[in-house]
Every structure is written in C-alpha cells, then in structure tokens.
Amino acid sequence: MSTPAPSEATPPVFTATRITDDLTRVPLSLPPLPWYGAVLNVGGLAGLLFLSVLFYCVEGYGIFGTNNTVNWGNDIASYIFWIAVAVAGTLVSSILLLFRQRWRNAVNRSTEAMTVFAINIAGIYPLIHTGRPWVDYWLIPLPWDGLGLAPQFKSPIMWDVFAITGYATASVLFFYLGLLPDFATLRDRAKTTWQRLLYGTLCMGWKGTASDWRHYERAYSQFAWIATPLVIGMHSTIATLLAVTHVPGWHATVFPPYFVSGAIFGGLAMALVILVPMRKLLALENYITTDHLEKLSKIMLAVGLVVGYVYVMELFSAWYSENPVERDQYWYRMFGAHAWAYWLMIACNVGVVQLLWFRSIRRHAGALLLIGLLVNVGMWFERFNIIVLSLEHEYIPTRWTYYSFTPWDYLLLAGSFGMFFSQFLIFARIAPVVSIAEIKTVLLRRHKEGSHD
C-alpha cells in the first residue's frame, strides 16, 4: 500500500534548518547524470536558434517565409509570444506581493526567472526583423546626426523600445534583489572554494543585519509596484502598435486589454509547464504543493474566461461594424486556408481550459502539465492568427497570399524554446528555485500567529 504524499496527508514539521537544507541541497551538490543529458538536449535545440540567425546574417532575410504581403511572420508572432510569457512572470510575483499573498513564496522565484529568460529571447526577434542586425544600434532613441536619423516620438515603435527596456531593467533588478539573501546563505554553506567565491560575489556583501533587511524589504516592495504598471504598459504598447494601423482585424480599441489578458493567460500556462516537472525532479513537493498549483490554475481559469470573452467580442464587433472587410477577415480566419490554425487556437485556449472547473483536474499535476502545454500551443497560434492571417488576407484581393514556414522558421522557433529551457536548467543548479528567505518569513509568521495550516 502506497504512503500518502507528506504535503497532503502528513504535513512535515518545518524548521529553519530543514528549509535551508532542502533548498540549498541542489545548488551545492553535483548535478545528476540526467541533468547533463537534459542540458545537452535543450542546449542542442538552442543551438538551432543561433544556427538560423547565423545563416540569416549570411544569406539575408529571404531565408524565412515572409514575403511582400506578409512581412510580419514567425519572428513577430514569436516575439509577442515570448513577451507575453515574460509579462505573467513578474505580474504573478509583484501583484501577489502587493496583496500580501503568502502562497506566492513557493512560486515567485520561478516565475521571476521565467520573466528574465523569456524577455531576453523576445529581444532577439525584433533585431532579426530589421534585416540588418549589425546596425541595430540605430534603434537606440538618440539623434544620429551623421546618419540623418532622429527619434520619432509619435511612433509606437519608439515607445515599444522604451517599454521593453524599462520593463526588462525593472524585472532583472526585481529578480536579482530577491536572490541576495539566498546567495548569502549559499555562500555560508559553500563546500568548495569556487562556490564560496561565486556566491560571495553574487550576494554583494550581504551580511543579514537589521539594516540589510530593512533596505531589502523597502526596495523589494518598491520594485513590485513599479513592475506592475510596467507589465501592463509594455504589452499595451505592443498592442497599440497594431491597433493604430488600418489592417483588418487589428484596428480595434480592445487590443490593449486583449493582449494583457492573453499574456497573463499564456504566462501562467508556461509557469505550470515549468513548476510541475521541476517540483518532482528537484523533490520540492513539500514547498511547491498541490495547493499552490491549484491556486495558479484558478487564476488561469479566470483569465482564460476573459480571453474567451474577447474572442467572442472580436466576432461580434466585426459583424456589428457592418464593414465588409472586417467581416471577411474573420470569415477567412474561420474558414479560409489557415482555418486549422484558428480552430486549434479556440480548442486550446477556450475548450481545454474549461477542464479547470473540476477540482480533480486542478489538483492533478499531470493534467495541469498537459493543459499548460496545450494552452501554450494555443497562445502561439493566437499570435499567428492575429499577425499572419490579417496580413495575408488584407484589402486588395490581388495581394492575397498564403504564408508558410521555411525550415529556418522552424529552427528559429524550436531554438527559442531550447534556449528558454536551457537557461532554466542552468539557473536551477545555481540558485534555489524557491526563496529560502521568504519561506522562513512565512514560517516565522505562523509561529507568531500559532497557525498550523
């Protein structure tokens, strides 16, 4: 007869020493052989990304499937996808911190890491899209007098650069600040000279004094409320970039809230994809419990309902506008050459997520992993439908075309996922994936309040 999981049937007795032992075990020990195999596999996949970029720099932008009609293809669709993944990571951590939700302590480190890793992948795509990445420094909003270039502050692209760089800077600082106490703990527990040197450098002289903690808590709260509007502003800016055009299917005021809700939805799905296997592989079931996964899935269900509502409102608005081009655009999405992409999006983002109404599904790790994977597929195809289908079936019938991937598009897309998971595997071996300091804070509060939940 199997023994019940400690986290659900017989809750373990946590002490500060046990928490430290459990969460420093992985960074301070040698990686097992399966970890090396996983790194080689996803690292090889990441190599495909660099291979495709290298070949693109040699041969030019024509190696991808874009054409004169669909000049925004896989690169911009994937760019918006990864930006959305980055959005949800900081949003989960910062908003739950501002609302003093203690359960965030089990998942915030992973979601913040997800933000940092996703946003540096997203930044690759606009640089590729320019066609001449070796002069991408011209994108920096400075008066390049010698080139006859000047910043155009009326352009949404300009504000897109501001939003992304501002958000990336705040996210990295927010993420790294939370790591300082844990790096100091690893420094004090380091077993080898190189570990002491590494973590002693990374903790930046943290001593754990009352002054250190006072400044840390103030700064952490400040970054939380700064990051929250940046999250909304960044993805709203990307949405506005599309909405100010007159392309059928884009010119809509619903785009900013549409993109933000979709970003949170897809990002939460990616969080489940990371957390479910990680808690098993790193033996963190006592820290990332089924209750934590259920809470995340409830938020995901709520945001998924908003996304489904937006899909319906898009169709209603196109019909109610009595604009034949708008109506034809959505008819094409549902029954045109790429109809399979539209219905795959609906199935994954609207149909599959309804399973989260059932408590047994919300508390089943395997089911949540599968739902997370399917929602990520659906959210990528949502960007594909918005970007590609609107362009390939625009106003003039003689310009209608069919967009398809080339092998280099597939390599570019697959490589981005390889790069994302490579970064996460390396991170999990360097730093605790659950915040030691914050878990101990919850333990201290429970002792003071006499709570045993």
**pLDDT of amino acid 349:** 94
Number of domains in the chain: 1
Residue type, 5: A
The CATH number of whichever domain residue 21 belongs to comes to 1.20.1630.10
Residues with Cβ within 8 Å of residue 233, at least 6 apart in sequence:
163, 167
**pLDDT of amino acid 10:** 46
Residues with Cβ within 8 Å of residue 204, at least 6 apart in sequence:
180, 183
**pLDDT of amino acid 149:** 72
Distances in whole angstroms, Cα of residue 128 to Cα of each of 43, 54, 77, 349:
21, 10, 13, 29
Token pair belonging to 332: 């094409």
Q: Judge whether 360 lies within some domain.
A: yes
Per-residue pLDDT of the chain (453 residues; tens, 9 = 90+): 344 444 444 456 677 888 888 888 889 888 888 888 989 999 999 999 999 999 998 888 889 988 888 888 898 899 989 988 888 777 777 777 766 777 777 788 888 888 889 988 988 888 888 888 888 887 777 777 677 777 777 776 777 777 788 888 888 888 898 899 999 999 999 888 999 999 999 999 888 888 888 888 888 878 777 777 777 777 787 788 888 888 888 888 888 888 888 888 988 899 899 999 988 888 888 888 899 899 989 999 999 999 999 999 999 988 988 889 999 999 999 998 899 999 999 999 999 999 999 999 999 999 999 999 999 999 999 999 999 999 998 888 888 889 999 999 999 999 999 999 999 999 988 999 888 888 877 766 655 555 444
- CA-CA distance, 23 to 283, in Å (whole number)? 10
Burial class (CB in 10 A: 0-12, 13-18, 19+), 117: buried
Q: Judge whether 10 lies within some domain.
A: no
Longest Cα separation, the chain:
77
Using alpha carbons, select from 80, 43, 62 the residue that is nearest to residue 382: 80
| CA distance from start to end of the chain | 27
Burial class (CB in 10 A: 0-12, 13-18, 19+), 213: middle
Q: Which domain holds residue 320?
A: 16-449
Q: Judge whether 356 lies within some domain.
A: yes
Q: Judge whether 390 lies within some domain.
A: yes
**pLDDT of amino acid 92:** 75
Q: Judge whether 354 lies within some domain.
A: yes
**pLDDT of amino acid 19:** 85
Give the predicted TM-score (pTM) of the model. 0.88
Q: Judge whether 245 lies within some domain.
A: yes
15 dihedral zone (left: phi>0; alpha: psi -120 to 50; beta) = beta
Q: Judge whether 386 lies within some domain.
A: yes
Q: Judge whether 393 lies within some domain.
A: yes
